[in-house]
Amino acid sequence: MSHVHNFSAGPCILPQEVLEEASQAVKSWDNHGLSLVEMSHRSKAFVAAMEECRALTKELLELPDRFEILYLQGGASLAFLTAAMNFLPEGGQAAYADTGTWSAKAIKEAKHAGRVNVLTSSKDDKYNHIPEVADVDGDNAYLHITTNNTIFGTQYAHMPQTTAPLVADMSSDMMSRRFDPEPFALIYGGVQKNMGPAGAVMYAVDRARLGQTGRSIPSYLDLEVQLGKDSMFNTPPVFSVYTTLLTLRWLKALGGVEAIQARNEAKSGLLYGEIDRNPLFEGHAQIGSRSHMNATFRLVDDSHAATFDDAWNKANINGLKGHRSVGGYRASMYNALPLESVQVLVDVMKEFERTHG
């Protein structure tokens, strides 16, 4: 089979060596004589893997001690509700920035827990930019942001400066760039965008801020309960957690988040350079809001779509079709995507200009 250049938005590309080690562990895990997926999650070996995964997450994100890490189920979609249940006080309100489909879903779920104050929205502009957020006053328990908008290809260049603590969905840019954790109370993200196979969602939570909502929280959604059980309140998604651990080891070995950020910026720089240079293409996101992870673009003349689609398919490129709500194309350039794959796409775009320009 020839090499596929995988630009899929999620689940997404993972390092080849991680996939090899994970598949070996499914057959027979190290010297335990059993498959990873047929062993007790309370076995010494798996508990050690979970603990290493939690510790490595904290280390790679350079989080201060006040943060604790959980790997749970339900994806980011359940975290929308969990975040509000744990941080929105009974009778209180929280501020939300509406920057895309996932933000809108976070807002919808938070309404199950209390009043939601949508401070700003770029919906009327097809979510093509990250709107400014004014300071958030003390009536709001937190400001919720979606740091990278996977579908529309926008990303916060800088985190908003507010006095309210930040709660963030980082599903699609987790571990892709450094950030200052200081303003955050909670960070969460489904692992399947940049860290591992689907099944687990990561929470990094400031433990001291829990338990202040005055509400009764169902056990699974109560982050204090989950922390009290060291992320083992119930059976964790063992394969997803273990493979995430392997990806984090891979990331650490290549120099951590700072090193991958430089690679990611080289990849996005290469592609955006071509989108801006090539007269046959135009970007969707405004330049100051462009995502390093998901680049959205389209053909200026859509009548060429069938031939362009044929060209990138022939180059063994996968997953380039844009989300149905935006149309056009979306190139997702997660951590494990090599620069060479971006070069292949850029070469296809250049050749397309030569034949159709």
Ligand X SMILES: *Cc1c(COP(=O)(O)O)cnc(C)c1O
Instruction: Tell me which residues are annotated as active site.
Output: 102, 169, 193
Binders in 307-326 for ligand X, by CB under 6 A: none
Name the segment binding ligand X (CB under 6 A); options: 71-79, 129-137, 264-272, 335-343: 71-79
Name the segment binding ligand X (CB under 6 A); options: 169-177, 246-254, 331-339, 346-354: 169-177
- Whether 164 and 186 have beta carbons less than 8 Å apart is answered as no
In angstroms, the CA 8 to CA 322 distance is: 10
Name the segment binding ligand X (CB under 6 A); options: 153-161, 167-175, 271-279, 295-303: 167-175
The DSSP line for 286-301 is: -GGGB-SSEEEEEESS
Task: Give the residue, chosen from 114, 160, 190, 283, that forms a contact with ligand X under the rule CB under 6 A.
Answer: 190
Task: Give the residue, chosen from 15, 75, 160, 237, that forms a contact with ligand X under the rule CB under 6 A.
Answer: 75
In angstroms, the CA 190 to CA 110 distance is: 18
Name the segment binding ligand X (CB under 6 A); options: 41-49, 165-173, 235-243, 325-333: 165-173
Of the candidates 33, 43, 2, 87, the one whose C-alpha atom is nearest the C-alpha of residue 238 is 43
If binding is defined by CB under 6 A, does position 146 make contact with ligand X? yes
Binders in 200-229 for ligand X, by CB under 6 A: 201
- Whether 130 and 155 have beta carbons less than 8 Å apart is answered as yes
If binding is defined by CB under 6 A, does position 76 make contact with ligand X? yes
Task: Give the residue, chosen from 67, 71, 102, 308, that forms a contact with ligand X under the rule CB under 6 A.
Answer: 102
Q: In what order do the strands lie in the sheet with 166-169?
A: 67-72, 201-206, 184-190, 166-169, 140-146, 93-98, 115-121
Residue (103 or 162) nearer to ligand X, CB:
103
- Integer angstrom CA distances of residue 84 from 47, 143, 264, 275, 348: 29, 11, 32, 39, 45
Residue (102 or 329) nearer to ligand X, CB:
102
Name the segment binding ligand X (CB under 6 A); options: 26-34, 73-81, 129-137, 313-321: 73-81
If binding is defined by CB under 6 A, does position 193 make contact with ligand X? yes
Biggest distance spanned by C-alpha atoms of the chain? 65
What minimum distance in Å lies between the beta carbon of 291 and ligand X?
A: 10
Task: Give the residue, chosen from 122, 172, 194, 291, that forms a contact with ligand X under the rule CB under 6 A.
Answer: 172
- Integer angstrom CA distances of residue 321 from 101, 175, 223, 244: 17, 24, 37, 27
If binding is defined by CB under 6 A, does position 283 make contact with ligand X? no
- Integer angstrom CA distances of residue 338 from 14, 327, 344: 11, 25, 10
Binders in 107-136 for ligand X, by CB under 6 A: none
What minimum distance in Å lies between the beta carbon of 4 and ligand X?
A: 21
Residue (9 or 25) nearer to ligand X, CB:
9
Of the candidates 62, 81, 50, 260, the one whose C-alpha atom is nearest the C-alpha of residue 169 is 81
- How far is C-alpha 108 from the geometric centre of its chain's CA atoms? 19
Identify each DSSP E strand in 266-326 by its residue range. 281-283, 294-299, 317-318
If binding is defined by CB under 6 A, does position 150 make contact with ligand X? yes
Task: Give the residue, chosen from 77, 120, 278, 318, that forms a contact with ligand X under the rule CB under 6 A.
Answer: 77
If binding is defined by CB under 6 A, does position 154 make contact with ligand X? no
What minimum distance in Å lies between the beta carbon of 151 and ligand X?
A: 7
If binding is defined by CB under 6 A, does position 181 make contact with ligand X? no
If binding is defined by CB under 6 A, does position 86 make contact with ligand X? no
The dihedrals phi and psi of 144, each to the nearest 5 degrees, come to: -95, 130
If binding is defined by CB under 6 A, does position 88 make contact with ligand X? no
How long a stretch of residues is the chain? 357
